[in-house]
Structure 1
Amino acid sequence: MFRSSRARAQLTLKEPPASVGAKPGGTIARLDLQFNPNSLELRKTTEWRRTPSRMAGQSALPEFVGSGPRTLSLEVFLDATARHDDSVEQAVEKLMKACVPTPASLDRKKPASPWVRFEWGTARTTSFDGVLSSLSVSYTLFDVDGKPLRATCRLSIEEASVDPPGQNPTSGARTARSTHTVVAGDSLALLAWREYGDATAWRVIAEANGIDDPMALVPGAELVVPGLRDTDGEEER
C-alpha cells in the first residue's frame, strides 16, 4: 500500500551562536522546498601528515591530524509558473540571507552569517548544523516583464559544529594557548573546528594573530591558538 503523502525537504536558517560553543539561536527563515532533491552529495575529509626521513627506505608512515567537517551539496529547483503573481526571487532572497551577516551578529560586533540546516524526513547523515559555503543561482525561465519564473540553485553546506568545544577527538580539553604550524590546505575555519569544535570561531584565532585575510595563510607560519579560557575572557570583556 502506497502512502498518500511523503516527507518534504526544507532548509532552515538560524541565528549564529552568540559565543564559542553555544547553540544556534532562533529561526530566521525557513524554505520548504517545492521539489525534493534528485540527489545529495555528502563529503567528508581526513587530514594526514608525513614527515620525510632521509634514512627511511620507504615512505614515512602517515600521522593522523584530524577529520574535516561534512559538506552537503544539493540542487534546489524553484518553479513559479503556476503562480503568475509570484516569482522565484522570494525563495532566492531567503537563500541569499545565508551569505551575509545577521543584524544581531552585527550588533554584537561579531559578524556571522546564519547557520543552515537541511532536513528531509528521518534522514540523519545529511541533517546537521552548518554554514553555507557556496551558492549559485541559474534563472532559466522569465515572464514577459523579465520576472524570473524558474531557477536552479546549487548550494553547499559545510558542517559548523559536531562536538562540544574542546571535546573533539583531536583537541582534548583546550584550556591553554597552543601553537600550530600552517601546512598546505589549512584554513582558519578548519583549525577552529579542530580546536574548539566550532568552525565559526575562526575569528578568535584571526584576532590573536592579527590576520586580516583568513584565506592568506602561509605554509610554515606559526599561529597562536587561544585556549577556551582565553576566549571566555575575551567574551567577558
Structure 2
Amino acid sequence: MPELEKAFLELESGERLPCLYNPETLSVGRRNNWVSNPMPGKGVPTLQYAGAGGGWMRMDLRFDTTVDGTPVTKHTGKILKLMEVDPNLPGTDLERNNARPPTVTFHWGDLHSFRAVVSDIRLSFTYFSSGGVPLRAEIQLELRQYESSDALGPQNPTSGTPKPSRVHRVQPGETLDRISARYYGDATQWRRLAQANNVEDPLALHPGDLLDIPRES
C-alpha cells in the first residue's frame, strides 16, 4: 500500500507543523461583495458589484498523545501561537506598530491552500489523565486568504498561480548545503539558494539572516 500522505501547515518561516491526524473534511469558500441602494416606494434594486472578497478554508484537527502521555498542549500550543504577532517577520517595525502574525499554507499531498492567516481557532480538550494532564484535543481552524490568488477550490487552490517562495531564518551552524538538503532533499542545490540570495560565500552565513527559498518548478 502507498504511504499515507500527512497534512501539515507550512509557516512563513518555512517551519512545518504536522497534523497528527488528517482532517476528515475540508470546507472551502469565497464571497463577493454586492451592494444595493433601496429607495422608498421602489421595488427591488439592482445589485452593484463592490469587489471581491477573500477565500476561506475550515477544517477540524485532532491531536492525541495518550500513547506517550505527554501533554497534548505541546502540539496545540503551536497552533494557538499562529494568532500571535511575530516580531521576527521581515518588515516588522514595532516602533511604528507595523507587525502581524505569520502567514500559513495548508498542504496535503497534491492539495495546497492559498497563502492564508489563521482567523479563528476553537480548541476543546476532550480527554485528561488521572492527574489532569490534557491528552486529547480538537481544534476547529479557519484560514482566511491573505493575498490575491487566481484559483480557489478543493482540488488545488493554488493551481495556475506562481509558486511563492519560502523564507528561512538561518540558525547557528547552518550552511547552504544543509539548508538545500532540508528543502530540496539535495545538498547540491545550494547554488540555487546562493543565486537567489546573492550569496558570494556559502560558508559565511550569519545566524538570523533571512534566505529566500524558491520553490521547485
CA distance in 1 between partners of 2:40 and 2:121 (Å): 46
State the number of aligned residues: 146
Residues 46 and 107 from structure 1, CA distance in 2 versus in 1: closer, same or farther, beyond 3 angstroms? Answer: closer
Select 1:67's aligned residue among 25, 30, 52. Answer: 52
Task: Give the equivalent residue in structure 2 for 1:160.
Answer: 146
Instruction: Identify which of 105, 118, 123 aligns with 1:132.
Output: 118
Q: Deviations over 1:73-100 (max 9, x none)?
A: 111100001112x221111111111111
Choose which of 55, 79, 104 in structure 2 pairs with 1:116. Answer: 104
TM-score between both structures, scaled by the size of structure 1: 0.57
TM-fit CA distance, 1:61:
1.4
Cα drift, residue 133 of structure 1: 0.6
Instruction: Write the deviation string for residues 203-231 of structure 1: whole angstroms up to 9, x where unpaired.
Output: xxxxxxxxxxxxxxxxxxxxxxxxxxxxx
Percent identical among aligned pairs is 25
Does structure 1 retain, via aligned residues, the 8 Å contact 2:114–2:149? no
Q: Report what 1:104 is aligned to.
A: 88
Opposite residue 73 of structure 2, the aligned amino acid is E
Q: 1:4 to 1:60 in 2, by over 3 A?
A: same
Matched, 1:149 2:135: yes
Question: In 2, distance between residues paired with 1:123 and 1:13?
Answer: 16
Task: Give CA deviations for 1:99-148 in whole Å, capped at 9, x if unaligned.
Answer: 11002259522120011211111124xx1111111111111111222211
Matched, 1:9 2:15: no
Q: How does 1:39-118 map to 2 (within 5 A)?
A: 39-53=25-39, 58-84=43-69, 86-105=70-89, 108-109=93-94, 110-118=98-106
Kept after mapping to 1: 8 A contact 2:36/2:47: yes
Structure 1 residue 53: Cα displacement: 4.7
CA RMSD of aligned residues (A): 2.1
Unaligned runs of 5+ in 2: 151-217
Mapped partners of 2:61, 2:20: distance in 1? 9
Instruction: Report if the CA contact (8 A) 1:97-1:114 is conserved.
Output: no
Contact 1:44/1:68 (<8 A) preserved? yes
Change in CA separation of 1:157 and 1:147 when aligned onto 2, cut-off 3 Å: same
Counterpart AA for 1:71:
W
Write out the 4+ residue segments of structure 1 that deviate beyond 6 Å after TM superposition: none
